[in-house]
Amino acid sequence: MTTDRTTLRLSDERKRLLDQAEEIVASDPSDDPPMSDVIDAALTHLIESRENLNDVRDQYPPQTVKECCSTSVLGLRYRTSIESNWR
């Protein structure tokens, strides 16, 4: 069995984003969650956001969904697709 390994190179921007995510995941100001928990939470949020967006696309007008759900990572384009704008 092989395991995937990766090294995260922390640019200033990536470090800033991880610090912000850590504040969200932490249970209180003195909590210092492991980076793996922060990354897991961010990935889970991304996946759940896409699922939530798919769930409401037929319930609300496209412009409303776009205004409420579009982010720099997930965006609603027209009414036919969800695109990942990341990278």
Q: Where are the domains of the chain?
A: 33-87
pLDDT (0 to 100) of residue 75: 66
Q: Alpha-carbon distance 14 to 42, whole Å?
A: 13
DSSP string across 15-36: HHHHHHHHHHH-SSTT----HH
Predicted structure pTM score: 0.69
Tens of pLDDT along 20-69? 999 999 999 899 999 999 999 999 998 998 888 888 888 888 788 878 87
Please say if the pLDDT value at position 81 is more than 70. no
